[in-house]
Amino acid sequence: MNIFQPDTFEDLNQARRLRARHAVLAAAAPAALAILEVFHPHPGHHLLEMDVHTWLIVHYIQVPLFALAAFSVATLVDAQTSVPAKLCRSALFVFALCFVVFDTAAGLVVGSLVEAAHASGRPGAWQAPIDVVWTHPIFGGTNHPLLALIGRLSLSVGTVSAALSLYRAGRAWQPALLLALSGCVMYVFPGHSWPGGPLTFGAMAVAIGWLHWARPRMTLEQWGLPGMRSNRPRQPNPRLRRSAGQRP
């Protein structure tokens, strides 16, 4: 059964349920990540004074969610072979790789060192090794580390490419535009704590759910008029009409 163009009225309700289920499942990872980032602590300049328990819990959960959120976007174009679709999949792989490594080092390693520092009874003695990781130019948490910059760029390339590929395939422009913009939020609000992370992945979740629910628009190829735009209204499915007791 085509969940976007059901053949009968009996199939219509089932198609709606399937579309709703697909939308919820596909948007689950970025939605969970958006909620989680609301609780992401802001460490400031004094790492030894941060809430290390919350810090570690957030980072243990968000490391796999970064990869799952990237996968959620990539599945939108998994059946497409266009250049934008291929670019989307490649860019999102780079994003997931960079952010998992970056968050493991700047999040879990730093948090574990801070926890060990407090447990030792001499936290000041741990300040130097903590700072070595936190200020590292590639995977640290400050001074625009390279992995974070590459990951942020890859995310924007991935969402914009996905949006372009989906629009060209006949999907509605509104959710496609929202998807494209979601990957660019962290240029305005750097970092994945509040507000950058929740806005990025919240918008991504809404766009993904919207795209899974909304019907595709008719493409030029489906109209049989390549290279031309047509305003001809789509004809109702004759089998839907017959199932309602109407004459074809």
Distance in angstroms (rounded) separating the CA atoms of residues 186 and 156: 9
pLDDT tens digits along 33-77: 999 999 999 887 789 999 999 999 999 999 999 999 999 999 999
Helices 83-103 and 52-74: crossing angle in degrees, nearest 10, is 170
109: DSSP letter: I
Coil, strand or helix: which one is 79?
Answer: coil
Q: How far is CA 204 from the centre of its chain?
A: 5
Find out whether 134 and 110 touch, Cβ atoms under 8 Å.
yes
If one counts every other C-beta atom within 10 angstroms of the C-beta of residue 85, the result is 22
| pTM of the predicted protein model | 0.82
Distance in angstroms (rounded) separating the CA atoms of residues 138 and 159: 24
Q: What is the pLDDT of residue 4?
A: 54
Q: What is the pLDDT of residue 22?
A: 85
Of the two residues 225 and 116, the one the predictor is more confident about is 116
Q: What is the pLDDT of residue 10?
A: 56
